[in-house]
Amino acid sequence: MPTAIRRVKINLSSENKTEELAIKISKKLNLGDIVFLYGEMGVGKTTFVKYLIHAFQKIYKSKKTEVTSPTFNLSNEYQIGKIKINHCDLFRLKSNEDVKNLNLFTEKQNVITLIEWPEIISEKPENLIEFFFEYEDNFEKRFVNIKGLDI
């Protein structure tokens, strides 16, 4: 019998709230987790990823680095202590075959994978957590729904 997966809607209408959520999430993610980040352009996906990576850097007492969108190079890699975070942006990809060529899900040990614009992926991987970013009130407020992770 299938089990219901709880979705939690969280207000991210300020960068402070986004950073607070990222810190909380950094303590919940496990190596091998894959995070899909859905949402319109400008809704806060990359900003969330920046704060998440900074939270991991703080945990591992690593130097805070610049976190940019990987839109043009498709993937940025961050080695933080014993973990590696792969931050991918699939916006420019045209087919699922392009996704397969990136080998996004082959390396799982010591890796957390964050993927923006995952809609092109036809088969969902194991250890998947999904973040659904959205605007409300004429773009004045931002929220995220989280599926697959209790916070």
DSSP class of 39: -
The per-residue pLDDT for range 5-52, each reduced to its tens digit, is: 556 689 998 999 999 999 999 999 999 999 999 999 999 999 999 999
- Confidence (pTM): 0.91
Helices (H), the chain: 15-26, 45-59, 96-102
Residues 23, 55 contacting (CB under 8 angstroms): yes
Once rounded to an integer, what is the mean pLDDT over residues 92-121?
87
Torsion angle (degrees, nearest 10) of CA 70, 85, 25, 39: 20
Report whether pLDDT(2) > 60: no
What letter would DSSP give residue 66?
-
Report how far residue 8's alpha carbon sits from residue 10's, in angstroms, rounded to the nearest whole number: 6
Q: Are 78 and 87 in contact (CB under 8 A)?
A: yes
pLDDT at residue 140 in the model: 81
